[in-house]
Amino acid sequence: MRYSQYLLSTLKETPADAEVVSHQLMMRAGMIRKVAAGIYSYLPLGLRSIRKVEQIVREEMNRAGAIELLMPMVVPAELWQESGRWEQYGKELLRIKDRKDSAFCLGPTHEEVITDIVRREVRSYRQLPLNLYQIQSKFRDEIRPRFGLMRGREFIMKDAYSFDVDEAGADVVYEKMYQAYRRIFERCGLRFRAVEADTGNIGGSSSHEFMVLADSGEDAIVSCDSCEYAANVEKAEVCDPQAEAPTPTQTLQKVATPARRTIEEVAEFLKARPEQLIKTLIVQTDAEETVAVLLRGDRELNDIKLCRLLGCNAVELASEELVKQVTGAPTGFAGPVGLKARVLADFEVRSMVDAITGANELDAHYTGVACGRDFAVEAFADLREAVAGDPCPRCSGKLEIWRGIEVGHVFKLGTKYSTALDASFLDAQGQEQVLFMGCYGIGIGRTVAAAIEQNHDANGIIFPMPLAPFQVIVTMVNPNDEPVNQAAVALYEELLELGIEVLLDDRDERPGSKFKDADLLGIPLRVTVGARGLKESSLELQERRSGQREMIPVAEVGAVVVERVRQALSA
């Protein structure tokens, strides 16, 4: 491709609404343009990287035995009503009506449609197992679309769905897909971790998320420093420390804490450390149940663990009004002593003595509080968020914390959708049986964005070779210099012949601004064709990542580039 004939314009300024590096650089490099919040056009350069990810995904899905099909984006409400998700899904589901007033939605995921296909097409165990996938645009009306392709409303996803005769079969395909995902992200040239993930309200079954490691990631993940254990913080287990409670040295005493509400304020005022406080959260469940949750003062509640313990779908902190109703005091002064409510506590609270907690009274706290002596707890459980340094739940190692971007998700669904939609088959005995399902997603655009989050410097993108929109850029220092122009075009044509993806920068621009653009676009290799080098019959080859330059005889450049590209693709 000749730059002068391509649709590619770079921006010098960083767009004001682009908060993260990948969004900034994809805009500046002319890969994407915003059409509306969370809705983007993929310009030619951006589309090339998108297609690269799709190609890797397609090859690995096919290798794993999955079969490609394509479902519609517009889905009739009836299918979603049948699964029950029309009511459950909430506002991320964009609901629309056609001219006959029939209800539809834009598919945010396709379990319903695929299960409908399979229940119509599959009669017998002889047609199973099946693993079907598509690469298609999804729509989710995200509450906060942001970060460009990272969290869009319309975005491209690869979604696969497997159908098996029993759970053992479903386990086999799950493992196959897990391995296929590892290969995909390895082939993309990314640093990633596969982590145990929460299974939400489907429960019981397993799930892994594939996380690209990047400081800007929205997810926190833990991994053990000595074994294979890795999990999303949402799910990361914290063991019961099983510590013996020390003998209390203080007695319960009420003290004035005027206008001190937060853990930090109270700790500072009473000259204590936050970990000496017992944090009391008044929480309301989606089933309108109210509970008090106790944590050590420096810990954070993990909502998902609490939901699992209570068997509910969501929890939120109680309103000011409800707190007053339950504790008799405004927020900031709640405590378990004398509290008339269900009290649950994190394991750590069990051994707390000489502690500080709210007195359920405006501007008052208790000191010298001992768990068990001064208040009772209905149940102790793992309720807090894991932090770096926590013991590994599987071995004697310690947990480390990373930031990650979720690019893929594999999930054992069991029979949730097949039961709801009555998708069954006849087994060898002619008995009707329900299908076992799994689902497997990869965010294609998010993968490109995550690659940029992980691979960039002050000058721009540094594409891993497998995702680069072009493998090489040939920069003519001065297109009006006839020998330079001829040599550059000759090299360009030679590289095309050799099957290399090459962009020829033939623009009549200052060399400095062409080099800047080449760095911004992140093309892994650059060959500079200039009068000075040609005098010595050589061209300069520069590697984007290391910045290393070397002069190579003109006649050898083609072969060297082919070799470098091949090496980088098989790395």
Interface residues with ligand ATP (CB under 6 A) are 109, 140, 142, 151-152, 155, 157, 406-409, 441, 443, 445-446
In the bound state with ligand ATP, the residue whose beta carbon lies nearer, of 142 and 275, is 142
In the bound state with ligand ATP, the residue whose beta carbon lies nearer, of 140 and 564, is 140
Angle, alpha carbons 236-242-244 (nearest 5°): 150
Residue 449: what residue type?
A
CB of 406 to ligand ATP, least distance (A): 5
Which two tokens mark 75? 């889905």
* Cβ(210)–Cβ(354) below 8 Å: no
Burial class (CB in 10 A: 0-12, 13-18, 19+), 202: middle
Residue 274: what residue type?
P
CB of 266 to ligand ATP, least distance (A): 35
Helices (H) and strands (E) in the chain, counts: 15, 31
Query: How many angstroms separate the CA atoms of 2 and 505, rounded?
Result: 6
Beta bridge partners of 278: 296
Query: How many angstroms separate the CA atoms of 79 and 110, rounded?
Result: 10
In the bound state with ligand ATP, the residue whose beta carbon lies nearer, of 446 and 544, is 446
Backbone φ and ψ of 454, nearest 5°: -85, -20
In the bound state with ligand ATP, the residue whose beta carbon lies nearer, of 132 and 339, is 132
CB of 145 to ligand ATP, least distance (A): 7
Nearest in space to 541 (alpha carbons), one of 507, 495, 499: 495
Find the helix or strand (DSSP H, E) in which 248 lies. Answer: none
CB of 152 to ligand ATP, least distance (A): 4
Which two tokens mark 567? 């090496």
Backbone φ and ψ of 362, nearest 5°: -55, 135
In the bound state with ligand ATP, the residue whose beta carbon lies nearer, of 323 and 439, is 439
In the bound state with ligand ATP, the residue whose beta carbon lies nearer, of 178 and 269, is 178
In the complex, residue closest to ligand ATP by CB: 443
In the bound state with ligand ATP, the residue whose beta carbon lies nearer, of 6 and 89, is 89
Query: How many angstroms separate the CA atoms of 1 and 353, rounded?
Result: 72
CB of 81 to ligand ATP, least distance (A): 20
CA torsion sign for 505, 509, 514, 520 is negative
CB of 217 to ligand ATP, least distance (A): 10
* Cβ(171)–Cβ(426) below 8 Å: no
In the bound state with ligand ATP, the residue whose beta carbon lies nearer, of 138 and 350, is 138
CB of 174 to ligand ATP, least distance (A): 15
* Cβ(504)–Cβ(484) below 8 Å: no
How much of the chain is helix, strand and coil, in % rounded to 5? Answer: 30, 30, 35
CB of 161 to ligand ATP, least distance (A): 12
CB of 405 to ligand ATP, least distance (A): 8
In the bound state with ligand ATP, the residue whose beta carbon lies nearer, of 235 and 446, is 446
In the bound state with ligand ATP, the residue whose beta carbon lies nearer, of 196 and 406, is 406
CB of 197 to ligand ATP, least distance (A): 8
CA torsion sign for 119, 121, 126, 129 is negative
Residue 377: what residue type?
V
